[in-house]
Amino acid sequence: MNLNNRPRGNGLSFYIILLVVILFSSFLMGRMGNPEEPTLSSLEKDIVSGKVESVDLNGNELHVEMKAKDGRAPQVVVKKINPLMVENYHKMFQKAVEDSQLSSFDYHQPTDFSNLFNIILLVLMIGSMAFFVWFSFSRQGGDGRTAMNFGRNRAKVNDPAKNKVSFADVAGADEEKAELQEVVDFLKHPEKYTKLGAKIPRGILLVGPPGTGKTLLAKAVAGEAAVPFFSISGSDFVEMFVGVGASRVRDLFNDAKKKTPCIVFIDEIDAVGRHRGAGLGGGHDEREQTLNQLLVEMDGFGPNEGVIVMAATNRPDILDPALLRPGRFDRRITVMPPDLKGRFEILKVHAKDKPIEANVDLREIAKITPGFTGADLANLLNEAALLAARHNKRTIQYEDISEAVFKITIGPEKKSRVITDKEKHLTAYHEAGHAIVLRQISRTQRVERVSIIPASGAGGYTAFKPNEDLYFQTRGDLIHSIMVALGGRAAEQLSQDDISTGASSDLQRCNQIAREMVTKYGMSKRLGNFVLPDNDEVFLGLDYAHAKEHSESVSSAIDEEVKSILDEAYSKTLDVLQENRVLLDQLAAVLMEKEKIEGREFEEIYKAYAANYVDAPGDSDDPFINELGDAAAPRATDGSAEEKTAGFESESEPESIEPSADRSSADPENRP
């Protein structure tokens, strides 16, 4: 329903109707509160007939004393009369006294507090409603939520004097800062560029996963350039009222032009900049009108000099092409998760205000947290601080940070969960299978912890620490990932001659990797370099009429190749575990006894019982990684550093081992 079709002034009409109802109710209650007044004729007859001894008129309250009969006490009748009739009654009683029909008549004129209270209450109600109506319809400025200000922009303006964020506060993004330094220099010295005929990019699009620091980079640009900074979210433009979004865009740029040079930052621009015409019904809706106005403001007929638009999104694939062309968002800067050195720099920034133990080396923490964004690292240190406070510590120690890594990536352990011996035995072999296969075939990862304690609804987990950041993988690496994931299922088959539902998430992951190898990476021996197009469309209608771009025979070949890869990997996994059957039994027995094995103890068991001992993965040739060396290990006072090193990543999602059908609530397939 279009709310604009409603007649104007509906709000005021409501208050008017409410006022009429209150007035009518007050009048009706007043009438109902008064009993029926005596008539002049009946009272006059009683006075003439000599039945009345005396009369006392107190305001509108009449006290009539009747003459005594048969020796009984005189009867007093109290009645309320209409205030408008008081004067008539007063004249009648005076005449009766003069004619000797009444022995006495008194008149009093007291204040009627009940009527006065009602009048005051009514005045207060009317005044309150009048003030509310005036306040609602006359308020100006504000956040644009009132009826008169829907079209005003909701951008927050940061004063350059109060914006203390600079490039020094942004760590782990050196290349991104170098790209933006050009914008800062232009805002400070525009004549340097205008003399050469150069034009600064009108729009800068920051693209990257959530938590990588896109908003922080935009604030740092404004802080470095010391210019006003308008910040607004893309969702703030869209409203249920037609035309409001476009009006807010116009108002935003009008305000920005008054404070040039300045920066307009639109966070989550994909909320308003999505591809037009998507969806089954076409698309000329309010969001598209807002986008059209944004396109006009960024590169229209009007002058827009001195206003630089910066935007951030983690979904550049759904943005409208007109928004990305030169003249609008001329420059795209990809903000990726930090590398090893970047994580170290970010940790130093977030560790400034925290009492971290002196023997904690932040470079070692950076090493065990690949894939973490800046927001993840900030949350990591906060969780470590909470854990330290829980144990009444004065400083944050390495084991607190290590445990926080496990808590974030895997989840808190559920030590109170009651499991049967059969489930415990099956879980021990399952996790032992994962750990042994990983240790035997991986050249870049080390087992850091093997646990059969439930965590986040899972039956157990195997965590490992990557030795280096990996940005791409070979076919062999992907096969090894499949083998590690299948290690739990293979161990179940060897030890129990049966399989459970615990490998559900492992199988899903294996199938996904194998299918991507065939359809995305061209790693199939049969299909070769043939890959399928990426049809992950965001909108239903965008790909609605597209035909299937491969035949049924190709689909069948893909399925056969996926199955072939999985079968080959599973066969190799069984061979690894059969060769190390003694190691598998010993590791499972220790897990049954201790429930949790750290990295160093696992290495001792592996060295003692492995059929074919393989050296642990060494450090990379990367100079920064080598710099860690022995100095990176925390100088703990109790136990070795390796015992306290926390892995952050498991070879698969933590899984629940539930062999019985009557406990399906813990089955991985039923987990959210």
pLDDT digits (tens, 9 = 90+) for 346-375: 999 899 889 999 889 898 888 888 889 999
Contact at 8 Å (CB) between 635 and 644? no
The pLDDT assigned to 658 comes to 34
Percent of the chain with pLDDT over 90: 22
* pLDDT at site 236: 79
Q: What is the pLDDT of residue 178?
A: 86
For the cut 70, the answer to whether the pLDDT of residue 620 exceeds it is no
Is 28 or 82 the better-scoring residue by pLDDT? 82
Amino acid letter, residue 99: D
Give dist(CA 396, CA 382) in Å, integer: 10
Residues contacting residue 386 through CB under 8 Å, at least 6 positions apart: none
Residues 632 and 624: their CA atoms lie apart, in Å, by 11
Query: CA distances (Å), 312 to each of 171, 315, 329, 406, 655, in order?
Result: 18, 9, 11, 30, 36
Say which residue the tokens 């903000």 belong to.
Answer: 335
DSSP per-residue codes, 114-140: HHHHHHHHHHHHHHHHHHHHHHHHH--
Distant-in-sequence, close-in-space partners of 520: CB < 8 Å, separation ≥ 6? 531, 532, 534
Are 71 and 61 spatial neighbours (Cβ–Cβ below 8 Å)?
Answer: no
Higher model confidence: residue 152 or residue 65? 65
Q: Six-digit token pair at 120?
A: 């005051």
Return the residue matching tokens 């399989």: 499
DSSP 645: P
Q: Is 431 a catalytic residue?
A: yes
Neighbours of 422 (CB within 10 A): 12
Report which DSSP code applies to 547: P
Amino acid at 217: L
Spatial contact of 190 and 351, defined as CB atoms under 8 Å apart: no
End-to-end CA gap in the chain: 36
Sort 127 into a burial class: Cβ within 10 Å, 0-12 / 13-18 / 19+.
Answer: exposed
- Please pick, among 288, 413, 431, 561, the residue that the annotation labels catalytic: 431
Cα(265)–Cα(218) distance, integer angstroms = 7
Rounded distance, CA 7 to CA 495, Å? Answer: 77
Least Cα distance to 85 among 47, 41, 50 occurs for: 41
> In this structure, which amino acid lies at residue 461?
Y
Confidence check: pLDDT of 647 > 60 = no
* pLDDT tens, position by position, 627-645: 443 333 333 333 333 333 3
- For residues 62 and 57, give the distance between their C-alpha atoms in angstroms, rounded to a whole number: 5
CA angle 533, 537, 540 (to 5 degrees): 135
pLDDT at 672: 31
In this prediction, what percent of the chain has a pLDDT beyond 70?
72
Whole-angstrom Cα Rg for the chain: 41
Which of the residue ranges 31-40, 392-401, 458-467 would you say has the lowest mean pLDDT? Answer: 31-40
Between CA 240 and CA 484 the distance in angstroms is 51
**Around 109, how many Cα atoms within 13 Å sit in the side-chain half-sphere?**
4
Residue among 321, 337, 339 at smallest CA distance from 329: 321
> What are the distances in angstroms from CA 375 to CA 73, 101, 214, 314, 343?
94, 100, 11, 15, 11
pLDDT above 80 (res 299)? no
- Looking from the CA of 363 toward its CB, the CA atoms found within 13 Å total 12
Cβ distance 80 to 30 under 8 Å?
no
CA angle in degrees (0–180, nearest 5) for 59-60-63 = 90
Q: How far is CA 137 from CA 127, 152, 256, 309, in A?
A: 16, 15, 27, 33
Q: Tally the C-alpha atoms within 13 A of residue 329's C-alpha that lie toward its C-beta.
A: 24
What pLDDT was estimated at residue 385?
A: 93
Q: pLDDT by residue (tens digit) across 384-414?
A: 999 999 999 999 998 899 889 888 888 777 7
Cis peptide bond prior to 668, omega within 30° of 0: no
CB 446, CB 599: distance < 8 Å: yes
Can you tell me which residue has the tokens 């409001």?
244
Q: Check whether 231 has a pLDDT greater than 80.
A: yes
Q: Is the pLDDT of residue 56 over 80?
A: no
Q: Where are the beta strands (DSSP E) in 403-534?
A: 445-451, 461-466
- CA–CA gap between residue 483 and residue 573 (Å, rounded): 6
Question: Is residue 540 pLDDT above 60, yes or no?
Answer: no
pLDDT at 495 over 70: yes
Measured distance CA(363)–CA(632) in Å, rounded: 6
Average pLDDT, the chain: 76
Q: Which residue has the tokens 């009539």?
A: 64
Helices (H), 189-299: 191-194, 214-225, 244-257, 286-298
Q: How far apart (Å, rounded) are the C-alpha atoms in residues 68 and 512?
A: 109
For residue 278, what pLDDT is reported? 61
Which token pair is 670?
């039923």
Angle between the N-to-C axes of helices 421-441 and 581-594, in degrees from 0 to 180, rounded to the nearest 10: 130
Q: Looking at the predicted structure, is the pLDDT value of residue 619 above 50?
A: no
Exposure string for 94-111, b = 16+ CB within 10 A, e = fewer: eebeeeebbeebeeeeee
Q: To the nearest 5 percent, what fractions of the chain are helix, strand and coil?
A: 50, 10, 40
The count of residues in the chain is 672
Residue 363 near residue 633, CB atoms below 8 Å: no
Name the one residue in this structure whose structure tokens are 């208050």.
15
Q: Is residue 541 predicted with pLDDT exceeding 80? A: no
